[in-house]
Amino acid sequence: MSISISESLEHEAREAARRKGVSTTEFIEAAVQSALAEFREQQIAAESKAWYALPAEERRKHDGMYVAFYQGQVVDTDSDQGALHRRIRRKYGRAPVMITQGGTHPVPEYIVRSPRLVRMSDAEWPRDHSGP
């Protein structure tokens, strides 16, 4: 396969790859993989939004099952998540198909805690009140 890119983008990719210490091919492949991962995440987010926008009675039909949701449609269901995943991969390959639990569960919320470095002045540090 051959893909053409602009001369200026090629030059920029070559320079970035050189600075990173990898081949231009490795650099471009990593960039495309990253863009595809972001694309899939966006698609799954859109599928999730569409799933939770369905009327509760429609989602309730699939209670107790795992649901494969693609392009705004239920495309398959199974009580075995692994079996469903294998069928979906065979049929859709790496396409961004959302697999979720059926039923009327609320939209899941995820809290991601991240360490953050903060510079504190001496006045902000807790005092040890055990000494003089």
| Predicted confidence (pLDDT) per residue in 1-18, tens digit | 888 999 999 999 999 999
Q: What percent of the chain has pLDDT over 70?
A: 83
Handedness of CA 74, 80, 85, 91 (dihedral sign): negative
pLDDT score, position 2: 87
Higher pLDDT, 131 or 5: 5
The whole-number average pLDDT for the span 33-56 is 94
CA angle in degrees (0–180, nearest 5) for 102-60-54: 85
User: Average pLDDT, whole number, for the chain?
Assistant: 87
Closest CA to 81 of 109, 53, 102, 104: 102
Query: Is the distance from CB of 98 to CB of 47 less than 8 angstroms?
Result: yes
Task: Quote the CA–CA distance of 72 and 94 in Å, as a whole number.
Answer: 17
Kindly tell me if the per-residue pLDDT of 132 is higher than 50. Answer: no
pLDDT score, position 116: 65
